[in-house]
Amino acid sequence: MKFRTAYDIIAHILGLQQLTGKEKIFVKKDSGKRYIRTKWGFEPVEKHNLKIKILRLEHEIDKLKTENEELKYNNETLIRKKEGLKKQLALSQDNGKKLKKEKGFLNKLLKEVLDKNLSLDKRYERQLKSRENTDKQLENLKSSKDHLLEQYNSLIEKNREQKKHLQELQKVISELKKR
C-alpha cells in the first residue's frame, strides 16, 4: 500500500479504507461507520451531513415511542393481572380455611402410612440381609464344590498315574521272573 499523504498513514493506523470514487470519504473496516477527511483529521460524516443526523435522531425517537407504547401495554396487562391475582387470593383464603380441616385428617393418615412404610422398609432390609447371607453361602458352596472337583480330578489323575506305574512295575516284574 502506498502512502501519498500523512492522512493516508493516519487512515491506515485507524483502520479506515477510502471509498472508491470518493476522495474524502473513508469507511472503518470493523464497524462500517463512515468518516470524512477534514484538515484536522477524520470526523464522522454525520457531523458534516445534518440530514443523516436528523434521520438517525428521528429513528431513535420512533424507537423510543414504540418502547413507550410497549411499556404502556405491559403496564395495563400487569394491572389486569394484579386485579385477577387479588380475586384469586381472596378465593384461596376461603379455600385455605376449608383445607385446614382436611389437613388435620390427612396428617393423621400420613402418619399412619409413614409408620407402615417404615416397618416395611425395615422388613425389606432384613430380607435383603438374609438374601445377601444366602448368596454368600451359595458362593461359598460353589467355591467349595469347585475346589472339591479339582481335588477329585487331581486324585483321579494320580490314581491313573499310579495304575500306569503299577502296570509298568508288573511288566518289569513279570519280565524279571521270565529271565
Q: Which range has the worst mean pLDDT, 26-35, 37-46, 100-109, 110-119?
A: 37-46
* 34 and 112 together in one domain: no
Q: pLDDT by residue (tens digit) across 23-73?
A: 778 888 888 888 878 887 777 777 777 777 788 889 999 999 999 999 999
pLDDT number for residue 1? 61
Q: Is 127 part of a structural domain of the chain?
A: yes
Closest CA to 45 of 33, 57, 58: 33
One domain, residues 25 and 64: no
Task: Name the residue among 157, 150, 129, 153 with its Cα closest to residue 142.
Answer: 150
For 7, 16, 107, 165, the CA distances from 29, given in Å and listed in that order, are 16, 6, 72, 101
Residues 86 and 114 both lie in one domain: yes
Residue 10, domain member (yes or no): yes
Mean pLDDT estimate for the chain: 87
Which one has a higher pLDDT value, 45 or 124?
124
Report the number of distinct structural domains present in the chain.
Answer: 2
Task: Based on the fold, state whether residues 118 and 56 are members of the same structural domain.
Answer: yes
Question: Does residue 172 or residue 20 have the better pLDDT?
Answer: 172
Q: Do 37 and 121 belong together in one domain?
A: no
Answer yes or no: do 27 and 57 share one domain.
Answer: no
Region of residue 28 (left: phi > 0; alpha: psi -120 to 50; beta: else): beta
Per-residue pLDDT band at 139 (split at 50, 70, 90): very high
Residue-range definition of the domain harbouring residue 101: 50-148
